[in-house]
Structure 1
């Protein structure tokens, strides 16, 4: 039996990134991964911002904001150890079909494991289950800015994280080159200028804690 496709020395083993966004990773334990021998007991998954970019398919202030919302929320909820999937409920202030909450919730779900009614139900007896731990329109926020709550199901402790998107820099005139990129009329210089301005905005979100408010509920 023959195949029309063959492996070559050029087969990729990693993503050829054009971006180099700098952000501390998120460490989170997964009891099911430990039980099934994917991880050693008490060893966490390490989730980077580029992992979140793979989930989203792009890097932008919304994606980086979602990563930081998850990171800051989990840091506040677990000050003395790693967060644990299946013990984290995520509550979104907005609806699932909202353009901002929808994208952000996908990344936050990817990090925390919290899902709706289509999620993993757990091993025998529900061990490590993450189903029904992601809720939308769960509370009324005090601001129109994207706001999420994270609740520990083992202690009922809850923190609220708000992302002040209006304070993110606009990126300057080079951001206007996007339309030319989309319709194919942008020059190489315009493409480079846009990419530099765009990813500088992303890095600001990853670096600047003042863009977020974290409160105990």
Structure 2
């Protein structure tokens, strides 16, 4: 396989991000990565919101909300140490084909490792397995807002994290420029105004603890 110098330079320099976010990373251990020498014993993967954006393919209040749901749930369950993949069970209140729960679950699965029956089954004897740790429509929340339940399988500690999406700012009139952007008729000024308004909404979600509720179960 060959690449031209321009493509090679792009690969070496990394993604050409047009936006930056202020968001704390999520640190999480993975026993399989440690066993296979990907990580040192006890060392975590460091997952940033940019990693979540790569997994989702876009950045929006739903994606940033999912990232924060995972972050807040793990922080609550592991106040004094790193969370551990294969020891985190995730239950979604809504169905997999729901527009919000579907997108959110992809990011939460990416962070926690929890998957349905198609996930990693573990090394010999199931060590580090993450299969069957994600379920949809698993409980009835007290609110219509997206809610995910996180449980530590080693201690049985459980928390619900709810995202109050109705409280996310609407972004103002510049959000209305999206249709022109999609059909190719938007001016540079409209594109810039939309991007500024859109990503300010995302940053509000990444920074606003008031948009989320964490409850012990």
TM > 0.5 fold call: yes
Alignment of 1:130-209 (within 5 A): 130-209=130-209
Matched, 1:63 2:63: yes
Aligned positions, number: 214
Once residues 106 and 43 of structure 2 are traced to their aligned partners in structure 1, the CA distance between those partners, rounded to angstroms, is: 24
1:13-59 deviation line (CA, Å, top 9, x unaligned)? 21000010110000000000000000000000000000000000000
Once residues 94 and 6 of structure 1 are traced to their aligned partners in structure 2, the CA distance between those partners, rounded to angstroms, is: 45
- Cα RMSD for the two superposed structures: 0.9
SS in structure 2 of the partner of residue 115 of structure 1: coil
Give the deviation of 1:9 after TM superposition: 5.7
TM-score (norm 2): 0.97
Alignment of 1:119-130 (within 5 A): 119-130=119-130
Partner of 2:214: 214
Q: Hey, which of these two has a bigger chunk of helix by percent? A: 2
Moved over 3 A (4+): none
TM-score (norm 1): 0.97
Once residues 153 and 92 of structure 2 are traced to their aligned partners in structure 1, the CA distance between those partners, rounded to angstroms, is: 16
Once residues 82 and 7 of structure 2 are traced to their aligned partners in structure 1, the CA distance between those partners, rounded to angstroms, is: 39
SS in structure 2 of the partner of residue 91 of structure 1: strand
Once residues 158 and 137 of structure 1 are traced to their aligned partners in structure 2, the CA distance between those partners, rounded to angstroms, is: 17
1:114-165 deviation line (CA, Å, top 9, x unaligned)? 0000000000000000000000001001101000000000011100000000
Give the deviation of 1:6 after TM superposition: 3.4
Partner of 1:47: 47
SS in structure 1 of the partner of residue 91 of structure 2: strand
Structure 1 runs not aligned, ≥5 long: none
